Structures are given as structure tokens and as C-alpha cells.
Structure 1
Amino acid sequence: MSEEKQTAEQVETEEQEEMAEQAVTEEQHDETAAEDEALQQQIQELQGLLDEKENKLLRVQADFENYKRRNRLEMEAAQKYRSQSIVTEILPALDNFERALQVDAESEQTKSLLQGMEMVRRQLMEALKKEGVEAIEAVGQEFDPNLHQAVMQVEDENFGSSIVVEEMQKGYKLKDRVIRPSMVKVNQ
């Protein structure tokens, strides 16, 4: 029995060793699983940070593109309407030229002076026209509050309702922008 006992002890020792190895393997497996889980969690955190940074980058790029577009549009508008302030300053002088030209000339000297004034007025209008300034047509047109400023209402059978009867002060546009609306009398 001693041999059997030894064999049984040997088998039992081997089983114990196998169980110990299995326990160590399971322990290592548990440690590896815990490490894997920790690594997966780190990967998810890093992926979240990366996604957040990518979103911020995309927003910054979009903001910059919007800034460039707004800046370009402002530059185009500034270029398009660059002469608006000088035109606004010149309009009262142009009004005075037109009032002066309405004087009846009795002498040759006055007629000559009026001709000179008319030439200057024409040159001034040509220069303004090159910049994109044009007079707003008013008399006979339907009243448009975007182009005309009504200062009086009259009753005139020769004109239809809401038609401009008389222009009291010329209005002007610079390209597509009204610089000064026409002051008009409107038929009721």
C-alpha cells in the first residue's frame, strides 16, 4: 500500500499543483481583465476629449470663415458706397445751382453767367453720375415712401391718386441706396 499511497499522494499533489496553477491563471486573467477594462475606460476618455477638441476646431474654423465673409462684404460695401459722404456734402451746392439757374435772365451778362453756371452744374452732374449717383424721378410717378418724402397733399384732377404732382427738392440715389429722398407734393 505504500506504493499506492505514494501514487495517490502524487496524484493529489499534482491535482493541488494544477489547482494552484489554475488559481494563478485565473488571478492573472482577472488582473488582465481589470487592466483591459482600465485601458478601455482610458481609451473612451481620450476619444471623448478628441471629439470635443475636433468640435471646437470645427466651430473655430466656421467662425473664421464667417468672419472672412463678413469682412469681405463690408469691404465691398465700403468700396461701393465710398463716395456717399462727399456726395451728401455736394448735394446742397447742386440744389443752389439749380435754384440759381431758375432766375430769369434779362441782360446779356446775366444770360452769359447763367450759361457758365449751367456748364458747371452739368460737369458736376457728370462727375456724380460716374460715381453712380442718379436723380430720382418723381413727377408723374406713383408715390413710393422708399424714394419720396411727402410734404404736402393736393387735389389735382390731372393726376391719379397717390401720384407725385410736384417735386419740391430733388432726391438722389447712389447705386441702389437712397441718399436723399425727393420732397414731393402728392395727389390725394
Structure 2
Amino acid sequence: MNEEDAKIEETEEGAPAPSEEAPQDDPFATLESELAEVRQQVLYAQAETQNVRRRLEQEKVNAANYAATAFAREVLSVKDNLERALAAVPEDLRGDERMKGLIAGIEATGREIDNVFQRHGIARVEALGQKLDPHFHQAMIEVPSDEAEPGTIVQEMQAGYTIKDRLLRPALVGVAKKP
């Protein structure tokens, strides 16, 4: 026997014969674990799909509810200007026959804007007499006051508005402080 034959015999003797192999895992157990793993992956995929669907439905509702937000902010300046126009008319001119038509037209336009705002969920933020709420009010000045508690709104410089449950524009207010 030469060296090569001896090496071959050693290799063959060291390796177990096919009938002497270590027992393999049960093929059914392997398939069952793979099936359980695939089931888990399917459940995760279904849950993710359902979450995406819910998120898209919520975004669709929000888009419908708040689509007019930018437009509504711009229309607020028109409403403010109408209110300023009415406030600028002196009392003695309100009784003048020549001015009654103009004043009535401005008032009617203001009411129509209020109706449109109401139909679209735009509401004025209550300010006067309320406690300062930084979510809805922006304090511009502090006003010394004996009658009102400190932190109470005593003056409104510009009305604030919400659209549905979101702030459209904060109310610009004056807040009472101790004199």
C-alpha cells in the first residue's frame, strides 16, 4: 500500500458511512416551523396593510376637512376689513339716508361671510373675559386693571378663528395685569 492509498483509507474510515449518518431533523417538524414562520410573516403583512389603509383614510378625512385652510386664512382679512369699514362709519352718518344703503350692504356682506364660515366649520375664538390660552390667544399687551383678574383678556385687537378643531388664526389680545 502506498501513501496515497493509505490517505484514502484514512479519509474513508474517518467519514461515517451513509448508513451511519447522524439522524436528521424530522422533515415534518422543519416544514411546520417554516409554515409557522410564513404564517407570522403573513400576519405582519396584513397588519401593516391595515395600518396603511387606516392612515390613508385618516389623511383623506383630514384633507377634506382642512382643504380650505389657506383660502380661509386669506378670506379672514376680507372679514377684518369689512368690520373695520363698519367701525369707521361715525354714528351721525349712520342715520344719513345716503349712507344707509352702503352700510346695509357692508353689514349684509359680513353676515354672508359669517354664514359661509359657519357652513365650513370656521368659528370665531372667544376672547373677551376669558383666561389667556396660548393655544388660541396671542397676548400683545398687558393692560393694568383693577376689575379683571391678572391673565384675563380685557381687549381684543384682532379676532381669532378655528377651522373644525384646528387653530386658523390666534386672537390678538390685551391681557389684564395688576396695576
TM-score (norm 2): 0.79
1:46 match: secondary structure: helix
Aligned amino acid, residue 147 of structure 1: F
CA distance in 1, matches of 2:38, 2:60: 33
Give the counterpart letter for 1:138 in structure 2: A
1:99 aligns with 2:99: no
Q: RMSD over aligned Cα, in angstroms?
A: 2.1
Question: Which structure has the larger Rg over C-alpha atoms?
Answer: 1
Structure 1: segments with no counterpart, 5+ residues: 1-29
Is 1:57 aligned with 2:42?
yes
2:56 maps to which of 50, 53, 71: 71
Separation of aligned partners in 2, 1:54 and 1:124: 57
Q: Show structure 1 runs of 4+ deviating over 4 A.
A: none
Structure 1 residues 166 and 38, CA gap change in structure 2 (3 angstroms): same
1:158 counterpart SS class:
coil
Cα offset, 1:102, TM superposition? 0.4
How far 1:49 sits from its partner (Å)? 2.0
Match of 1:80 in 2: 65
Tell me what 2:159 maps to.
Answer: 170
Tell me by how many angstroms 1:122 deviates. Answer: 0.5
Please state how far the C-alpha of 1:52 moved relative to its aligned partner. 1.8
Structure 2 unmatched runs, 5+: 1-17
- Which residue of structure 2 aligns with residue 152 of structure 1? 141
Residue 33 of structure 2: aligned partner: 48
Give the drift of 1:112: 2.2
Structure with the bigger percentage of helix: 1
Residue in structure 2 matching 1:38, options 20, 24, 31 = 24
Q: Distance in 1 between the 2:99 and 2:152 partners?
A: 36
SS for the counterpart of 1:102 is helix
What residue in structure 2 maps to residue 138 of structure 1? 127
Instruction: Report the count of equivalent residues.
Output: 156
Residue type of the alignment partner of 1:38: Q
Aligned-pair CA distance for 1:79: 2.0
| Cα deviation 1:33-87 (Å, max 9, x = unaligned) | 969x4361x3333223222211111110110011111111111222222322221
- Identity between Structure 1 and Structure 2 (%): 32
